[in-house]
Structure 1
Amino acid sequence: MMLILALTACSTPMDARKDAAFQSYGHAADRPTQRPMRSMSSFSDSLQCMDRLMRDAQIPTTLITSKQIPDFSTRVPVATKDMVITALLQMSRLSNAFRYVDYEVDIARQDTVQNLTNILLNNNQIQLQRPALYVSGSVAFVDQNVLNNRFDAGTSGARFETGYSQNRTVTIIGLELHLGDFRTRTMIPGLDSANEVIISNGGQGLDLAGRIRDYGWQFNVGRDYAQGSGAAVRTLVELAMIELTGKWARVPYWQCLTMEQTHPNFQRQLRDWYDEGNIGIHEALIRQSLVSKGYLSSSNVQPPSLTTFRTALSKFQADNGMVVTGTVDFSTYERALRDYVALNAQGQLIRYGWLSTSADPKALSANEKLSPTISEKVYGVNELPRSIDLQIENILMGRKQFEVGEQVFLSLTVSRQSHLACYLSNASGQVMRLLPNPVTPQAQISANQAIRLPDWMSPNPGYVIETSGAGTEGLLCMATDKDVSNELSEPLNGPALRPLTGIRDLPDVLALYNRALGTEGYTSATVTWDVSARKAPTTSSATAAPSAAASTKR
C-alpha cells in the first residue's frame, strides 16, 4: 500500500507555485559575478605607441579595407577580420592615420547596412570612396599536439588504491597578413607579416579509493588550464598590424615592440605583485600613481569612498580605454603601475621605484638605475603637466603660409581628460569662439581622442575655417579640469562662431583666463599661420582637406 502511494505521488505533477520563493532568485543569479573588462593583449600599449608615432610623423589619413581572414583548418573559429579593424582604429585615435571602408560584396555575408548601401548606391544617393590599401591574409596553420606529454601512475592494495595522472600539450597557431595596393590589386613587396604563437593545455589529477570495514570511499581532485585561441590570434593580429603599418608609414615601429608591456609574463607578474598586497595597499599605490599623472593633487589624496578619488579614477580609466567603474581592481592596478616596471639585465620584470607591500616610493638601487623603464617614468615622481598638441592638418604638413580664401584644417589632443575651449583670431582683429558651439556643445575630450577643427571627415561639419585677409591668424585652445564657463567674464561667454565683443586678439583671451582662473588653472596652446593676398588664378582648385571627405560651408 505504501509503495502504491509513493508511486502515485511521483506521477503527480509538481506544483510550480510552491517554488515561487526559490524562483525569485533567478534574475539575480543569471547576472555575471565579475565586471566586464576591456580585451587587451601584450601589444595593446604598442598600438597606442604607434598612434603617437604616426601623429608625430603627421601621417595623412588613409582609407583602408580588408578581405576576409579565413581559417581553413576550422580549428580557430574567431573573428580575425574584426580584430584587424579594431587594431587599425586603435592606431588612429590620435593620428587619424586610417579610416576603414566597410563594404561587403559577398551576398551571404551582407547584412541590413550592406543591403541598404547597395540600394542607395544604385539610386546615386550615396558615394563610396576608393580605399588606398587593403589587408589580405589568413590563419595559415594550426598544428595541434606538436608536443604531448603524459604520465600516469597508480598503486593497489587490499583496502587502499591511489592513482595520479598528468598531461601537457602544445599547439602552434600561424597567421600571415599582407598589405596590398587597392588601385592595382597588387601586394606591396616587403609589407608582409608571418608570425606564430604557442598555446598549451595541461592538467593534473589525483584519485584515492579504499575500504573501511564494510564501507568504501573514493576521492578525486584535479586541476587544468587551457590557453584559448582567441587571445592568441588577437596577439598575432596586433603584432602583424604594427609591423605592416609601421613599414608602410616608415616610422620607427620597433620602438613600440620593445616596451616592457610586450613581455609575455607582464600581466602575470603584475597579478603576482597584486596578490602580495591587500586592498589598502592597492588603493594607496593607485592614488600615488594618479598624483604622479596629474589626476589628483598631492593635497587631495583621499580614500576611495570620497567623490574626488572616484572621479579621478574614472577619468584615468576612460583615458586608458578601460571599462569605467571608478573602483580599484586588478585591471586598474595594472594600468596605473605598468609605467613603473622595467626589465633587468637577465630579462626579468622588476618593480621600478615601488614595492607591492607599501605605497611609499622606494629608493632605487644601483642595479635598478641601470635598467630604466622605456617610459622613463619613476614611481612617486610627478610626470609632465597636462599638455595640448595642436597641429595644422592640411595636406602639406607643417604648412604655415596660406592665401586669402583658403581653408585651414587643424586637430588637437590632450594628455589627459579635459574640458576644451578654442578661440580663433583673424588679421582684422576679430576673435570668435570655435568650441564649444551649437554643433559641439560639450567640448570634453579624453586623452585617447583627437578633435578635428573642423571635422573634415563629416560631409556637414557645421563650420569651416577660411582665411579672410592678409596678415596673421591663429587658434588658441584652453584645457581645464572642469567646465569653467560660469567662472569666465562676460566677453568670453558670447555666442559661438561670432566675433566676441571687446576682445581684439588672443593675448586678450589669455588675460581674461588669468584673471578668472589664475595661471595654474588652465593649460593653453597656440598655433598661428600667415595669410597673403591671393595670387593670380591658376588651374589649381580650392584647398583640399586632409582626406577625400569634403567640407561644406553654411
Structure 2
Amino acid sequence: MMLFTKKTAVSSLVCLMLNGCNSTPRNEIPFFETSLVENQSLMKPIRSISNFDDSLSCMDQLLLKKNIPTTYITSKLIPDASGKVFVSVKDMIITSLSKMSRSSHSFEFVDFETDPLKQDTVQNITTLLLNSGDMHIPKPQLYVSGAITSMDQNVMIKGTGFGVASDDFEIGTTSDLIATNFSLELHLGDFDTRTILPGIESANELAIAGKGDALDGGGRISKAGTQFSLSTAYSQGVGPATRALVDLGTIEIVGKWAEVPYWRCLSLDQTHPEFQREMHDWFKAMNMSEQINFFGNALYAGGYLTTPETEGLTTTLKQAILTFQRDEGIVPTGIPNFETYERIMRHYVTIDENGRFKNIGWDEATEADRRGDNIWPDADKTNQNPLKVEVATLPEKPEYALNESVIFTVRTNREAWLYCYYKNSKGVMTKVYPSIFQENPKITGLGSLTIPPKKTPDLFAFTMTNTGNESLLCAAAEQQLDEKKIPDLFKSDFTAINSAFKNVSLQDTLKGLSTGDIAFGSADWKVK
C-alpha cells in the first residue's frame, strides 16, 4: 500500500511538471488582461496646490492694480544644502511666478540652460539659432537666488508605551511623534549688476510631522501559541511642504520688490495649515447622497444652476461642476470630488475669534467679513450669488491727460459672455470687446481680462485725443446674447453703434437680448 501511494505521488508530480512546461502564455490571457486594469492609478490626478494658492491669485490682482510692467526674470538653481530634500525648487518658483502673472502679466520667465550636462533638444536648437543670429533671448532684469539652507531631522521625539503580560498572554502598545524642521531662503537680484537687492529677501522654516502607532500581542493555549502585530505610520512629505515655503517666499520677495501690500494676501483664512485637513474630515463624513445634495444646493447658491439639483448626478449638475472647476483652475472632470468640495467651501468657511473653523452664510455678520464678495449665500436658502462684473482703468485714476493711453481690466465672478462698449467724449459708442484682436467672447472667473491685451499692447490702444468725460460699459451674460435681433451692435468693431439703439439706453437694449442673468459694470474718467 505504501509503495502504491509513493508511485501515485511521483506520477502526479511528473504529470504536473509536464503540464506546466507545456503551458503557454496564450492559456493565461485573462490574467494578462487583468494586469492592464490593475496597472492603472487608483486615484485621479489633481492639481498641485498649496495653502497659498489663493494668495498667489491675490498677488496677481495687486500687481495688476499697481500696473507693474512685464518684467523678464530668471532663477538660479536652488540647491539643497542639506542633501536631504530631493525636489525641484526652481520649477516650483516658475509655477508661483506664473500664477501671480495670470492676469497682470507681470513676469515672463527666461528659460535658458548653460549646464552642458543638462542640454536637451530645445536647448541644442536654441544654441544653433543663437549662433546663426536667427533667435534673440531677452536679457532678464531680475533673478531669484536662494537655497534650502537646513534640514534638521528628529528635532523632537516623543514616545509612549504600555503593556500587560501574564503566563498565558501579553499585549502592548506604543506611540511615537517625530518633528523634522527645514528652511528655505530666497533673494531677488539685479541681473545687470549681479547684486542681491537689499531688503528683498525671505527666510522661512517649516516643521514636518511624523507619527507612528503599534499594537503587539501574543497568547498561548496549552502548547499552541499565537502572535499579532498591528502598526500605522504617518509621515508628511517634503514636496508639499517645500511648495508651501516656495509660494510664501515668492510672495514675500515679489511683494517687497513691487511695493504692494502683500501681507493682505497672506492673511486669508485659506492659508491656515489645517484648512484642507479640516475640510477633508467634513467631506468624508458625508455619504454620496449628502454630497450630491451639497453640490446641487451650493452651486445653485453660487449661481451655477438655475434650480437646485439634488436628485442624483444629473447632466445639468455635472455641467455646473465642470464650469465651476474651470473657473477655479482645477482639473475639469465634472465629478463631485474633494478637490471641488474644498474650493466651494472657501466660500462658506471662515475662522472665528477662537481660531476654529465655522460655517457661514449670507447674513449681516458675514457681509461685514473681510472676504466680502467671496462669500456665497447660504446653500440651504433660495437666494443666489448674483453674476457680477468689475471694470477698472489702468493706471487707476479719475483724470487723464491728452495723448495719454488707458488700459481696461474686466473681471467676472464666474464664467460669462462678455460685451464691452467704449464711449468717447463726444458721445460716440463703439464695441471694443469681443473684437478682431480678442475674439473669444466667453471668459472664465479665473483672473482678469485686459483690453487691449497687456501682453501685446501694440495691437491697438485707447489714447485720449479730446477733452471731456469718457466711459467703458461692460455687460456679462450667463447666455450668449441674441445677436441676430440687432446685428449692428455686434458685427462691427471700433465703429459707431449709436444708431442701433435710438430710443432706449444701451443697457436696456442689451437686457432685451438676454435670456438669462445679465450684469453690468462700468468705468468713468475725465480727459483734461
Which TM-score applies when normalising by structure 1?
A: 0.81
Q: Distance in 2 between matches of 1:496 and 1:378?
A: 36
Are residues 124 and 424 of structure 1, via their aligned partners in 2, closer, same or farther at CA, if it must alter by over 3 Å?
Answer: farther
The answer on 1:400 being equivalent to 2:403 is no
In structure 2, what residue type is equivalent to 1:167? D
Partner of residue 370 from structure 2, selected from 369, 374, 379: 374
In structure 2, what residue type is equivalent to 1:389? E
Q: Distance in 2 between matches of 1:74 and 1:397?
A: 51
| Root-mean-square deviation over aligned CA pairs | 3.5
Task: Give SS of 2:138's match.
Answer: coil
Indicate conservation of the 8 Å contact 1:286/1:337, yes or no: no
Partner of residue 515 from structure 1, selected from 486, 503, 512: 512
Indicate conservation of the 8 Å contact 1:344/1:371, yes or no: no
Indicate conservation of the 8 Å contact 1:94/1:413, yes or no: no
Are residues 428 and 253 of structure 1, via their aligned partners in 2, closer, same or farther at CA, if it must alter by over 3 Å?
Answer: closer
The answer on 1:484 being equivalent to 2:485 is no
Indicate conservation of the 8 Å contact 2:105/2:454, yes or no: no
Indicate conservation of the 8 Å contact 1:54/1:95, yes or no: yes
The answer on 1:160 being equivalent to 2:169 is yes
Q: How does 1:140-539 map to 2 (within 5 A)?
A: 140-151=149-160, 158-213=167-222, 215-297=224-306, 299-353=307-361, 373-376=369-372, 377=375, 379-380=377-378, 385-393=386-394, 400-403=400-403, 409-424=407-422, 433-437=431-435, 440-458=438-456, 463-465=459-461, 467=463, 470=466, 475-486=472-483, 488-494=485-491, 496=493, 502-503=499-500, 509-517=506-514, 521-527=517-523
Are residues 150 and 434 of structure 1, via their aligned partners in 2, closer, same or farther at CA, if it must alter by over 3 Å?
Answer: same
> Equivalent residue for 1:552?
none
Are residues 29 and 409 of structure 1, via their aligned partners in 2, closer, same or farther at CA, if it must alter by over 3 Å?
Answer: same
Q: How far does residue 31 in structure 1 lie from its aligned partner after superposition?
A: 1.7
Are residues 428 and 133 of structure 1, via their aligned partners in 2, closer, same or farther at CA, if it must alter by over 3 Å?
Answer: same
Instruction: Map Cα deviations across residues 250-309 of structure 1 (whole Å, 9 max, x no partner).
Output: 222222222221222111222222233333333333334333433234x45554533332
Q: Distance in 1 between matches of 2:124 and 2:399?
A: 42
The answer on 1:6 being equivalent to 2:13 is yes
Are residues 305 and 70 of structure 1, via their aligned partners in 2, closer, same or farther at CA, if it must alter by over 3 Å?
Answer: same
Instruction: Map Cα deviations across residues 17-45 of structure 1 (whole Å, 9 max, x no partner).
Output: 22212222222222223222222222112
Indicate conservation of the 8 Å contact 1:407/1:464, yes or no: no
Q: How far does residue 213 in structure 1 lie from its aligned partner after superposition?
A: 4.2
Q: How far does residue 143 in structure 1 lie from its aligned partner after superposition?
A: 0.8
In structure 2, what residue type is equivalent to 1:390? V
Indicate conservation of the 8 Å contact 1:431/1:504, yes or no: no
Are residues 291 and 125 of structure 1, via their aligned partners in 2, closer, same or farther at CA, if it must alter by over 3 Å?
Answer: same
In structure 2, what residue type is equivalent to 1:448? L
Q: How far does residue 187 in structure 1 lie from its aligned partner after superposition?
A: 1.1
Indicate conservation of the 8 Å contact 1:470/1:530, yes or no: no
Are residues 168 and 214 of structure 1, via their aligned partners in 2, closer, same or farther at CA, if it must alter by over 3 Å?
Answer: same
Q: Which moved more, 1:147-156 or 1:330-339?
A: 147-156
Q: Distance in 2 between matches of 1:102 and 1:30?
A: 35
Q: How far does residue 326 in structure 1 lie from its aligned partner after superposition?
A: 1.7
In structure 1, what residue type is equivalent to 2:388? S
Are residues 432 and 127 of structure 1, via their aligned partners in 2, closer, same or farther at CA, if it must alter by over 3 Å?
Answer: farther
Indicate conservation of the 8 Å contact 2:486/2:500, yes or no: no
Task: Give SS of 2:134's match.
Answer: coil
Q: How far does residue 152 in structure 1 lie from its aligned partner after superposition?
A: 5.6
Are residues 201 and 186 of structure 1, via their aligned partners in 2, closer, same or farther at CA, if it must alter by over 3 Å?
Answer: same
Are residues 413 and 126 of structure 1, via their aligned partners in 2, closer, same or farther at CA, if it must alter by over 3 Å?
Answer: farther
> Equivalent residue for 1:33?
42
Are residues 112 and 452 of structure 1, via their aligned partners in 2, closer, same or farther at CA, if it must alter by over 3 Å?
Answer: farther
Q: How far does residue 155 in structure 1 lie from its aligned partner after superposition?
A: 5.8
In structure 2, what residue type is equivalent to 1:375? R
Indicate conservation of the 8 Å contact 1:402/1:529, yes or no: no
Task: Give SS of 1:264's match.
Answer: coil
Q: How far does residue 109 in structure 1 lie from its aligned partner after superposition?
A: 2.5
Are residues 347 and 508 of structure 1, via their aligned partners in 2, closer, same or farther at CA, if it must alter by over 3 Å?
Answer: closer
Q: Distance in 1 between matches of 2:464 and 2:267?
A: 48
Indicate conservation of the 8 Å contact 1:204/1:222, yes or no: yes
In structure 2, what residue type is equivalent to 1:494? K
Task: Give SS of 1:230's match.
Answer: helix
Are residues 468 and 91 of structure 1, via their aligned partners in 2, closer, same or farther at CA, if it must alter by over 3 Å?
Answer: closer
Task: Give SS of 1:24's match.
Answer: helix
Indicate conservation of the 8 Å contact 1:43/1:235, yes or no: yes
Q: Distance in 2 between matches of 1:526 and 1:156?
A: 79
Task: Give SS of 2:513's match.
Answer: helix
Task: Give SS of 1:517's match.
Answer: coil
Are residues 79 and 257 of structure 1, via their aligned partners in 2, closer, same or farther at CA, if it must alter by over 3 Å?
Answer: same
> Equivalent residue for 1:547?
none
Indicate conservation of the 8 Å contact 1:420/1:436, yes or no: yes
Q: Which moved more, 1:117-126 or 1:247-256?
A: 117-126
Are residues 27 and 500 of structure 1, via their aligned partners in 2, closer, same or farther at CA, if it must alter by over 3 Å?
Answer: farther
Task: Give SS of 1:17's match.
Answer: helix
Indicate conservation of the 8 Å contact 1:174/1:196, yes or no: yes
Are residues 275 and 136 of structure 1, via their aligned partners in 2, closer, same or farther at CA, if it must alter by over 3 Å?
Answer: same
